[in-house]
Structure formats: C-alpha cells, structure tokens
Amino acid sequence: MAKSGAPRRKRIDGARPAPSTTRRPIAAAPLVATVLVLVAACTSSISGVALPEASAPYGGPPATAPTPVPGGGPLPAALLLPIDRFPVTYSAVVLSPQAVAQAAPDLEGIPPDARVDPAGCLPPSQDYGPAGTAMAVGTDTAGRATLSVEIVTFAEPLSEYRTFVEECGRVEATRRGATATVTTVLEPDPAIVVPGSETLGLSRTVRSGHGGDILVQSMSTRAAQLGSVRVLVTFMSFESDVPDTENLDRAYADAVRYAFEEQPR
C-alpha cells in the first residue's frame, strides 16, 4: 500500500514496488530509447544495417488468416494493421515477439521491473508475448520519430487504465541506477470510429539524464477498445513535442477499423 499522501489506487497484480533505494540519475542513460533504436536497426529502407535477431519482423500467420489462441479469438498479430497501410512517410516493420517485449513497455515510459515513486504506480500488467501483444512500428528517419500500432488482447477495461493515468500522472521510475520522470496527461478522447468501442487520448513525456545530457521523449497516444481487445496508436519523437496529428489520426482510424471491422474475431 502506498504511504500517506501518495495516489491511492487498486493494487494491480504483479505491480508490487521493490524496496526503495536512493535514486541516482545517470547522464546519457535513458530508460526509453529502445523503440527508435530497434526500428532504425530493423527497417528495411536503411541500407547496410544488419537485422538483429530480436528485431526481425515477426514471421507468424498473416492478418488474413487469423490463428486462434487458447480460449478462442485470433492472435493479436492477426488484428494488426498491415505495414503497407501505414502513412507513406513512415517506413514500417512488424516487430518480433522479442522486440515487442522491449518496445511496448518503452511506450509506457516505465519498465516492468522498475522501482517507482509513488509506490503502486507501475503500469498494469500485460502479456507481452505473441498471445497477448503485437506491434508494428513505422519510422520517419528525417524527423527522428516513430508511429506505432499496438494490439493488446485480454486487456483490462479502458476505464481502469484511465483511472491509472489520473492517479499516476507523474512518476519517477528507476532502473539500473538511471531515473526517468514520466508525466502523463489525459487528452480529449479521440472519435469513436467503430460503434460500441471506448476511446482514450493521452500525451506522455519521459525525461531522463541530467545537466547537458537530458533526453526527452514525447508521445501522443490514441486508444480504442472493444471488449477485451485494445488498439493503441502512438506518435513518439525525440525532436519535438508537437505530434504529427494528421498521420496519427489517420493511422488510428485505419488501425481501429482493421482490428474491429475488417478481421474476424
């Protein structure tokens, strides 16, 4: 239980804070640079760069042939927006399961094994394996930005995640001696693209390092959920806190329609 004065919220399984220790910000040791590095390394349009094994595109079943998961329903990869439907300025790849396990927590700004202050503000637990999460990420190398589409199955109600954001709007996360400050603000809910779905909008800033070595990661996310399936589309940049809203909104609407209307569930 959080100490008096810390945000109060329902305990989430697997979100127990580790014993507190002194936090030591370390310059040039960002917690959340993985996404851009992974995508830059595995985007086919960047010549002369080898494909790391953890970042190779996931070779699972195509979206047109959903594969059931235990208990019914297709794998998340079957509901993922095809990479040829990303905005043309973003060269996209589908992340392997190993890369998803690194990239998806990065968009939360808080690694699952981090120590957090306030206590109890670890993000809700999530299955980052191929039965629970799939991701595709497009890279705009000129703008040093990414546009990611994430599918999460068996997700908690979106209203519970909204409560988490409201109660944990500013969190200090420490991992391996490096501390990042994660600030998340609810934005106006995006339009409901598919009737019956819930939506949520947020912006997030992750600041790490100190002195002249501060790294700032800015994100804008649109989320929609129908039943237990959640679609998240996130613009992320290290250069600007002004999101590419035109392409973000276009990718969000297309990803939601594809997951909830075009694919059998």
- Give percent of the chain above pLDDT 70: 72
- Is 11 inside a domain boundary? no
User: How many structural domains compose the chain?
Assistant: 1
Domain harbouring 176, CATH code: 3.40.1000
Confidence category of residue 180, pLDDT binned at 50, 70, 90: very high
Q: Which domain holds residue 197?
A: 34-45+67-262
- Is 4 inside a domain boundary? no
Asked if pLDDT for residue 14 goes beyond 60, the answer is no
- Is 58 inside a domain boundary? no
- Is 26 inside a domain boundary? no
pLDDT in tens, 220-260: 999 999 999 999 999 999 887 789 999 999 999 999 999 99
pLDDT in tens, 17-63: 443 333 333 333 333 344 444 444 443 332 222 223 333 333 333 33
- Is 175 inside a domain boundary? yes
pLDDT in tens, 151-177: 999 999 999 999 999 999 999 999 988
Give residue 73's pLDDT.
73
Q: Report whether 215 contacts 30 (CB < 8 A).
A: yes
Give residue 144's pLDDT.
87
Give residue 265's pLDDT.
63
- Is 101 inside a domain boundary? yes
Asked if pLDDT for residue 71 goes beyond 80, the answer is no
- Is 27 inside a domain boundary? no
Give residue 72's pLDDT.
59
Asked if pLDDT for residue 139 goes beyond 70, the answer is yes
pTM here?
0.76
- Is 116 inside a domain boundary? yes
